[in-house]
A and B are shown apart, each in its own frame.
Chain A
Amino acid sequence: MLEIKNLHANVGDKEILKGLTLTIETGKVHAIMGPNGSGKSTLSYVLAGREGYTVTAGSITYNGEDLLALKTEERAAKRIFLAMQYPVEIPGVTTMNFLKTALNAQRRARGESEYDAISILKLVRAKARVLQVNEEMLKRALNVGFSGGEKKRLEILQMSLFEPKLAVLDETDSGLDIDALKLVAEGVNALRSPERSMLVITHYQRLLDYIVPDRIHVLANGRMVAEGGKELAHELEATGYGDLGKVPA
């Protein structure tokens, strides 16, 4: 469902991705591991279409469509979701209002009817319970004053609400203690489905004990350097990224 071929991408003048190739299959959970600075987050931003992340060569095909020709919000409407490492705060905008605005914007873009406030409230409440996101959180301004765990749970709640076909989880484990991590991982696992692909980006193997991937790819210095099954995570845990990082550029 997603084919990345020979992708080169710059941030500013600096080339970060240097010929990355990756195929993600429908309904599978792929994990990308790699050391700091290897280009993991850059890949997630390129997939989402963030301004300032420029593709200089290569292609990305998403369900047969040229992904790079789509605007950021069009990709969202076509069900690409990025759970962010650092969810931003938007003062004065309640979480509930944000969820409603975003969901309706996506639905409108897909030519679907919009939900009224009450239907959305019902929908969100049902999904929120699983993730222990309470009413009070939904009434607070988006991410303002939220703990690290609350922010990540809210990201997963949005993933659940927007029903993506491709969900990219960027360092979802960062800043979480073990209980919070378990809760988030349960939320993610509940969303695994034959129609949904996931790309889990992480520095540590720890997350992959709870979200067990179908495939693991190792990214170093802007390109894929290794690939394997779920056992690869534990091998990396033992050997570290040391050798892989030294692949000639």
Chain B
Amino acid sequence: MSADTDTKDQVAALGEKYKYGFVTDIEMDKAPKGLNADIVRFISAKKDEPEWMLEWRLAAFRRWGEMTEPNWARLRYNKIDYQDAYYYAAPKSTEKYKDLDEVDPKLLETYKKLGIPLSEQKMLAGVAVDAVFDSVSVATTFKGKLNEAGVIFCPMSEAIRDYSDLVRKYLGTVVPVTDNFFATLNSAVFSDGTFVYVPKGVRCPMELSTYFRINASQTGQFERTLIVADEGSYVSYLEGCTAPMRDENQLHAAVVELVALEGAEIKYSTVQNWYPGDENGKGGIYNFVTKRGDCRGARSKISWTQVETGSAITWKYPSCILRGDDSVGEFYSIAITNNYQQADTGTKMIHLGKNTRSRIISKGISAGKAQNTYRGLVSVHAKAANARNYTQCDSLLIGSQCGAHTVPYIESRNPTARLEHEATTSKIAEDQLFYCLQRGLTAEEAVALIVNGFCKEVLQQLPMEFAVEAQKLVGISLEGSVG
């Protein structure tokens, strides 16, 4: 089924509003509210971490205490009280089980509602899922098949224990502990996440996928993902995110680090539909995420694709450091904001090596009273001879009370660089809507169709099974934006 044909499901999904806004009622094991060095020690102890990890966390925590929250983004939100949140929450029963059969049925039910069965069905679809429920990875499937290929795909907490040397070698090498306020906070308190290692010359036999979900009230989620693709390997990874409806704002500050060694390729896709808040702007996730990939080896490639439809606040700039000669970085983005949502998102392409190439395709859609900003940096360093970048930023406005902003930063210290930047801003035209209505589509179906068309270049980058879901999300997230 092609990405642009599944209109039947798309239409059926309309009218569901935020269907992921349910709360799973299970007993939680929480750390006391607030943040101090003892909480950091508590988290580390809960995870049975080696000493070096605790020290790493404490160093980050000390550093974080000296930092101030950045305010350069075009975002307005109430000040976050970092002491008024829980930094560790785990379903109480998880400590025991090792097998899927032992998992609390309520948890599995939650995943079922999210549409990610942890069973045979996904095997048929060829998807391995590492499901993160609040702070603990509940179950990991398909380990066996991946093991055969030598691929490590496991919860971060497990990796820290079982593959300590490997994690230690790469953790924090792309996003340093001191990188920025939110990344440093994450370094101190990250609770779980995913670790992937693909050995030399291995093409990962399936799409890897992690669903993150914030369930517990007033719990920040600080997951940490590290993907290392060794020489000549390939991996495609997808994360999907949903969160239940709550009145208060929840903080999500994740860090994702990608390392591509010589000739390796990493494709990282995100479908983010955290709870965006209600139509009056109440509630919703504050999403402050640091994602960065390092094309460390020659001829390596990192490709980011993101579909951001949720969160009240999105602050996110998945970036590529093009260190290896002939390396390639790509960023494909759809950011949709409706009602009072605000997104400040984009990328950084840092060209260090020779003949490095980057491509940025950004599609921003703004409706209601939302603000949508593309912020991107293309930087060509002195030694990056023959660097090339192509940037295309398109904004689509629905209605007259929303805003779209494009803030490109371009720096070139090498005269051989070739940089192109194209930007457009348009509105959904009344005649387009009328045309669709006259042919029988409802206003919401028409908007979903037109916006999906606008986003096509990016949707095409998603793995097939997720492209369909993303397409539906585009429709759902723009509900009520016309008529």
Contact = CB atoms under 8 A, between A and B. Distances in A.
Interface of A: 48-52, 71-73, 75-77, 81-82, 84, 86-94, 97-98, 100-106, 108-109, 114, 117, 141, 158, 162
Contacts of B429: 88
Contacts of B453: 90-93, 141
Nearest to A107: B440
Given A90-B453, A92-B453, A97-B4, A82 B445 contact: no
Given A102-B436, A162-B440, 20 more contacts: A49-B438, A50-B434, A71-B437, A73-B438, A73-B440, A73-B443, A76-B437, A76-B438, A84-B438, A90-B432, A92-B452, A92-B453, A92-B455, A93-B453, A97-B5, A100-B7, A101-B7, A102-B441, A105-B11, A105-B445
Contact of B441 (A51, A87, A101): A101
Closest 9 CB pairs of A and B: A92-B453, A92-B456, A93-B453, A106-B440, A102-B439, A76-B440, A72-B437, A105-B440, A101-B7
Contacts of A93: 4, 449-450, 452-453, 456
Contacts of A84: 435, 438
Contacts of A101: 7, 441, 445, 449
B8 interface: yes
Nearest to A161: B439
A93 B455 CA distance: 10
B111 interface: no
A247 to B, nearest CB: 31
Nearest to B446: A73
Interface of B: 1, 4-5, 7-8, 11, 429-432, 434-443, 445, 449-450, 452-457
A103 B437 CA distance: 12
Nearest to A83: B438
Given A51-B430, A97-B7, A87 B435 contact: yes
A72 B456 contact: no
A75 B438 CA distance: 8
Contacts of A108: 11
B8 to A, nearest CB: 6
A170 B402 CA distance: 35
A36 B453 CA distance: 35
Query: Which of B434, B440, B456 has the most chain A CB atoms closer than 10 A to its own CB?
Result: B440
Contacts of B1: 117
A104 B456 contact: no
Contacts of A91: 453-454
Contacts of A109: 440
B441 A73 contact: yes
A155 B436 CA distance: 13
24 contacts: A49-B438, A50-B434, A72-B434, A72-B437, A75-B438, A76-B438, A84-B435, A84-B438, A88-B431, A88-B432, A90-B435, A92-B4, A92-B454, A93-B449, A93-B450, A97-B7, A98-B439, A100-B7, A101-B441, A102-B439, A102-B440, A106-B440, A117-B5, A158-B439
Main secondary structure of the interface of B (DSSP, over half): helix
B171 to A, nearest CB: 40
A59 B460 CA distance: 48
Contacts of A90: 432, 435-436, 449-450, 453
A114 B8 contact: yes
Given A51-B430, A76-B440, A97-B5, A88 B449 contact: no
Contacts of A77: 440
Contacts of A75: 438
A105 B434 contact: no
B454 A82 contact: no
Contact of B442 (A81, A88, A105): A105
Contacts of B443: 73
Nearest to B451: A92
Contact of B438 (A48, A98, A117): A48
Nearest to A96: B5
Given A92-B454, A97-B4, A162 B449 contact: no
A98 B442 contact: no
Contacts of B11: 104-105, 108
Contacts of B437: 49, 71-73, 76
A105 B4 contact: no
Nearest to A103: B440
Nearest to B431: A88
B245 to A, nearest CB: 29
B332 to A, nearest CB: 14
A61 B78 CA distance: 56
A117 B7 CA distance: 10
Contacts of B436: 90, 102
A92 B3 CA distance: 11
A51 B434 contact: yes
B215 to A, nearest CB: 35
Contacts of A86: 431
B439 A94 contact: no
